Amino acid sequence: MGKFAADAEQLLKLVGGKENISAVTHCMTRMRFVLTDPAKADVTAIEALPSVKGSFTQAGQFQVIIGNDVAEFFDEFTKVSGIEGVSKDAAKKAAKTNQTPIQRAMANLAEIFAPLIPALIVGGLILGFRSFIGEVNLFADGTQSLADTSQFWAGMYDFLWLIGEAVFHFLPVAICWSVVKKMGGTEVLGIILGVCLVSPQLLNAYSVATATDIPVWDFGFFTVEKIGYQAQVIPAMLAAFVLVYLERFFKKITPEYISMIVVPFFSLVLSVIIAHTVVGPIGWRIGDAISNVVYAGLTGNLRWIFAPIFGFLYAPLVITGLHHMTNAIDTTLANQFEGTMLWPMIALSNIAQASAVLAMIVLQKNERDRQVSIPACISGYMGVTEPALFGVNLKAGFPFVCGMIGSAIAATISVGSSVMAFSVGVGGLPGFLSIMPQYWLPFFISMGVAIVVPFVLTLIVGKKKGVH
């Protein structure tokens, strides 16, 4: 019998038994259950188990924090329960039965953007490094950049644009692929559709506003403008959805023996036509409208209201899953205005919640509690706040609010100083790597506030409440 067998057997009973488990999997530190009736789980008794360091519910999944031994615990659990584990994707799919329509929509949006985030982070870092070596004048009394003083760095400045352009200008290719993959369509058709939105034969999206003569496809009795959708998010998403539903439609009505020819041909050709005539222009206008409203809120007279509200409410958005919509807004802002003021506030919110956990670590004397708090704090400072939010701050309540207050103050300083990031990037403490170099100083000041204010407030309130 393994060392976790007894706790695994108890956990099976406390979550409502085998019949109450729709699916189970695990991640790096947590068991993830999709329960038929979440109310049957005895949370208090579960958290009292020696192997368990806490629990929380998110996105329809009841998650039990085990720690670094979770893989071994999972093996013991599957043995005593007789339940086969499923993949994370299968668990997510099952969990959606416990979600509201809004939660399902946000989960789908998250699953579309999650595969893109590593590329966006890399792209933001590359643009930051490129800007530092080619556009920040640190030499010859502030008249020359590093690229001006060295042929190597000049070459590097040009070379890095190859990757930066691939990430951002050709982003619709990745978006179309991700949407089609998520919706169960033919992925290669999604890639081709994305290429058809950014083809070199199209007028570059960045040149449309200044173009005096827009090229067209002339079909005799009507014409279609040859406009590209480089870096456009919403047009690419809408076009990909069109492709997915067309493919599903043609699969239903096409005999199997000609399906391989008919379905991809008509799905792709029609989706490209619809993309360039209907959903592309509509999506462009929607994206522009959203980004213009957000940009006005960040730069206009109302920014002193917008910034603290966003900074205060971002952490609660994470709890609901609504924060995933900021990825699309951030990307659109970065492409339309060559930078985003939204992402710095997100990074600061991560830091603020992690700092509240840091104060809890100082207050806590119970080693069991610290085993949850320490990794949650580290994760939060690296930009992943869910363990901090669900494992520590929300349970105590006041650290969560203290983090929100610190985030609001830091966001106000950041927006008031016009701090701008190149794009979605690294969160938490490494967030400065995505910030434009000219804004590093005010961002570091904002970062200091996001560290100190939640830490001090949490310490004060915690001591008054007798936390130990």
189, pLDDT greater than 70: yes
276, pLDDT greater than 70: yes
Distance CA 71, CA 433 (A): 34
What integer pLDDT is reported at residue 86 of this predicted model? Answer: 61
pLDDT tens for 39-80 read: 899 988 988 888 887 787 776 788 888 877 888 899 889 888
104, pLDDT greater than 80: no
Please identify every residue annotated as catalytic. 27
**pTM value?**
0.76
Residue 21 CB coordination number (10 Å) = 19
Angle between helices 280-299 and 325-337 (to 10 degrees): 90
Over range 202-230, report the average pLDDT. Answer: 86
List the CATH code of the domain at 5-98: 3.30.1360.60
120, pLDDT greater than 90: no
The two three-digit tokens of residue 1, written as one number: 């019998």
Over range 415-433, report the average pLDDT. Answer: 86
Distance CA 233, CA 243 (A): 16
What integer pLDDT is reported at residue 360 of this predicted model? Answer: 93
pLDDT tens for 243-272 read: 999 999 999 999 998 999 999 999 999 999
The Cα-based distances of 143 to 69, 149, 223, 321, 439 in angstroms read 56, 10, 50, 47, 19
| 3-class SS of residue 217 | strand
Of the given ranges (62-71, 183-192, 323-332), which has the lowest mean pLDDT?
323-332
452, pLDDT greater than 90: yes
pLDDT tens for 228-250 read: 998 888 999 999 999 999 999 99
Ordered alpha helix ranges (H), 183-300:
187-198, 234-253, 256-274, 280-299
What integer pLDDT is reported at residue 81 of this predicted model? Answer: 86
Instruction: Give per-residue burial for 109-143: e unless 16+ CB within 10 Å, then b.
Output: bbbbbeebeebbbbbbbbbbbbbbbbebeeeeeee
What integer pLDDT is reported at residue 450 of this predicted model? Answer: 96
Over range 203-207, report the average pLDDT. Answer: 82
HSE value, Cβ hemisphere, 13 Å, CA-based, for 360: 32
Whole-number mean pLDDT of the chain? 87
Q: For the chain, which residues make up each domain, given as ranges?
A: 5-98, 115-295, 297-465
Of the given ranges (66-70, 96-100, 427-431), which has the lowest mean pLDDT?
96-100
What integer pLDDT is reported at residue 442 of this predicted model? Answer: 95
